């Protein structure tokens, strides 16, 4: 089911954006970011986030991103933002003319982590699929929207009941770029139940 963009709500709307039935565009503003404490010791919580909410415990959200990033840390992607200290995101983060970081950040109780792999700087489009199974999540990426590869499996301590998910874009340094989001789709959970070792007894 294609996502109804009328159901999306801003957390910190940017000055320049377009929301159409099948397309969202964000022009990022300088010095915007999402990060909490770990390693860098600073706390940044001012990136624009466009999301919808659901109490559904099993679903998948798919989105295609296209970006014109050009400066270090420029990024856009998928996000599940509960509050300033509990969220996850996945994106391609520009580093230099040679490479970028395809990665994800999970923030629990005010501390972020960052898992990445290097990709070529020529990549200017990426698909993501975010899946929920209760309070656990899987993030996948794809170059063509057909074949997805797992980026990570994670837990969010505060993901109880209603959650909010969608897209974001930001420029942590003195930069601005255009991020475009299309093919947003909400589906039944594409993350199968685990078939293997049984859970520990309570």
Cα separation, 106 vs 192, in Å, equals 21
Cα separation, 8 vs 37, in Å, equals 28
| pLDDT score, position 128 | 98
| pLDDT tens-digit series, residues 34-66 | 999 998 888 999 999 999 999 999 999 999 999
Tens of each residue's pLDDT in the chain, 202 residues: 888 898 999 999 999 999 999 999 999 999 999 999 998 888 999 999 999 999 999 999 999 999 999 999 999 999 999 999 999 999 999 999 999 999 999 999 999 999 999 999 999 999 999 999 999 999 999 999 999 999 999 999 999 999 999 999 999 999 999 999 999 999 999 999 988 888 887 6
Cα separation, 23 vs 20, in Å, equals 5
User: CA 72: distance to chain centroid?
Assistant: 18
Residue spans of the domains in the chain: they are 5-187
Q: Is 114 left (phi over 0), alpha (psi -120 to 50) or beta?
A: beta
| pLDDT score, position 202 | 64
CATH of 5-187, one of 2.40.30.10, 3.30.450.40, 3.30.70.980, 2.60.120.200: 2.60.120.200
What are the CB-based long-range contacts (under 8 Å, 24+) for 110-117? Answer: 110/36, 110/37, 110/85, 111/36, 111/37, 111/38, 112/35, 112/36, 112/37, 112/38, 113/38, 114/38, 115/151, 115/152
Q: Is the pTM of this model over 0.85?
A: yes
Cα separation, 59 vs 57, in Å, equals 7
| pLDDT score, position 79 | 98
What are the φ and ψ backbone dihedral angles of 9, each rounded to 5 degrees?
-130, 145
Who contacts 108 (Cβ-Cβ below 8 Å, separation ≥6)? 86, 155, 156, 157, 158
Strand 9-11, strand 49-54: pairing: antiparallel
């Amino acid at each position: 089911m294609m996502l109804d963009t009328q159901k999306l709500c801003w957390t910190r709307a940017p000055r320049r954006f377009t929301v159409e039935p099948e397309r969202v565009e964000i022009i990022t503003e300088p010095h915007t970011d999402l990060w909490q404490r770990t390693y860098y010791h600073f706390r940044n919580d001012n990136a624009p986030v466009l999301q919808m909410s659901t109490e559904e415990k099993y679903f998948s959200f798919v989105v295609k991103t296209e970006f014109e990033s050009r400066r270090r840390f420029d990024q856009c992607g998928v996000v599940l933002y509960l509050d300033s200290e509990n969220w996850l995101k996945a994106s391609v983060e520009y580093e230099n003319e040679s490479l970028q970081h395809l990665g994800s950040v999970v923030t629990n109780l005010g501390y972020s982590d960052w898992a990445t792999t290097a990709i070529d700087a020529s990549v200017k489009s990426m698909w993501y699929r975010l899946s929920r199974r209760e309070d656990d999540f899987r993030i996948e990426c794809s170059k063509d929207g057909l074949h997805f590869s797992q980026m990570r499996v994670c837990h969010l301590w505060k993901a109880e009941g209603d959650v909010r998910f969608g897209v974001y874009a930001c420029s942590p340094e003195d930069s601005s770029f255009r991020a475009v989001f299309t093919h947003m789709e909400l589906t039944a959970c594409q993350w199968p139940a685990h078939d293997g070792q049984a859970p520990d007894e309570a």
